């Protein structure tokens, strides 16, 4: 399986994040409209969110903190 490294800058903090070992076939399928969770199930939810929204995990957690008061 051919893979690549995708480099994205967070749209909030501008940190450069590298996602390694992204399957090229799945990446192309996602870019062509396949749901990311179907095209790239081997990536973490955090990595998929970075690809979708451009938001790194640290910023995502600051923007949307978990509500522990349930």
| Interval 52-66: pLDDT, tens | 999 999 999 999 998
Round to whole Å and give the CA distance between 49 and 46. Answer: 5
What are the domain boundaries of the chain?
3-63
Running DSSP on this structure, what letter comes out for residue 3? Answer: E
Task: Write the pLDDT tens digit of every residue in 2-52.
Answer: 999 999 999 999 999 999 999 999 999 999 999 999 999 999 999 999 999
């Amino acid at each position: 399986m051919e893979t690549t490294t995708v480099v994205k800058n967070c749209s909030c903090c501008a940190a450069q994040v590298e996602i390694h070992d992204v399957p090229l076939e799945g990446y192309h399928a996602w870019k062509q409209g396949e749901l990311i969770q179907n095209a790239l199930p081997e990536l973490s939810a955090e990595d998929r969110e970075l690809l979708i929204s451009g938001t790194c995990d640290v910023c995502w957690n600051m923007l949307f903190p978990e509500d522990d008061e349930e």
